[in-house]
Amino acid sequence: MSKGLLETITEFFEPQAPSWACEVTSRHVIIAGVNARRNRITDKSTATLNQPLALPSQGGKGAEIADTAGQVVRKLLSEVGFKGSEIAVVVPDETARIAFLTAENLSKNPEEQRTFIRWKLKKSIPFDVDSAQVAYRIQGTHPGGTGVDIVVALSPRSIVQEYEKLFDALDIHVGILLPSTLATLNLFSPPVGDTLFVKVAPDCVTTTVFQSGRVQFYRRVSDLSLYDAVYPTVLYYQDKLGGKALERMYVCGYDSDLASSVDEVQDKLGLLAYRIGPKSVEDIYKPALGAIHLKADATM
């Protein structure tokens, strides 16, 4: 996935990322900016919300976040010296649905590709696919040799509008809006061997399996321990993906108490855990920095 998810531009992604990003979680507002070459962090800041923020969800009505988070966002932007009219926005993973498709005869026309994707997913997605924002990446030929594999991200239009409204009130255009895990993966170059990427956020854990550098599985769960979130993914990798042994596990998480949970996974599953780079940057900033394509060797 890495930077490649942005190679196919649809309604949800744009080719040139802004140089500033903001992530809104239920507990934090996070701001980060990079220079024009994207090899240096110009500034970053975070604020903890006094009360947990009710965020828009896939199945429910869009929560009104503009008034609640607007003052915090404005204050942080002022603190970091934000200048400009465009920003990348990172949204919680639970606001989007990630799906995998295989198409036997996929048109080369992007509009026909989107029509095919919406048609295939209409019965399996719990919101209106026809009006949803859709982004996708064609990953290549299916391992069986028939058709091509596609990874798709979808979000209800009502959710996108809530975040657009938040920044419209600040006279800032949302240039890119993408889920937190996908944003973080822009900082990650999976190794050749089979790899597990684990992202721990305030309200959920996502697990992503890479085989031969290709995304093969994604899962999001809430209200589970790290081990209980990871173990079913490892079983799926072995039973459904034909995997023999995950070579590494990479972890990115906001929780300061994450170390003991990671140790449990390492002890029980025998998976060594690694951080994604840049290691000099706190994990809480990595989704925002991934959204604006910070280069891996970047420094402050």
Topology (CATH) of 190-275: Nucleotidyltransferase; domain 5 (3.30.420)
Q: What's the predicted TM-score (pTM) here? A: 0.88
Q: Smallest Cα–Cα separation from 148: which of 188, 116, 192?
A: 116
What's the pLDDT score for residue 59?
A: 53
**Mean pLDDT in order along the chain per 10 residues (300 residues):** 36 65 94 94 93 70 71 94 93 91 91 94 92 89 85 90 91 93 92 94 93 93 95 97 93 83 94 91 95 75
Q: What is the DSSP string of 72-102?
A: HHHHHHHHHT--SSEEEEEE-GGGSEEEEEE
Q: Smallest Cα–Cα separation from 295: which of 188, 208, 215?
A: 188
What's the pLDDT score for residue 256?
A: 65
Domain limits, the chain: 2-92+157-181, 94-155, 190-275
Superfamily the domain 2-92+157-181 falls into: ATPase, nucleotide binding domain (3.30.420.40)
Q: Does the fold of domain 190-275 match that of domain 2-92+157-181?
A: yes
Q: Smallest Cα–Cα separation from 291: which of 158, 185, 148?
A: 185
Q: Smallest Cα–Cα separation from 132: which of 172, 173, 98?
A: 98
Topology (CATH) of 94-155: Dna Ligase; domain 1 (3.30.1490)
Q: Which amino acid makes up residue 173?
A: H
What's the pLDDT score for residue 159?
A: 87
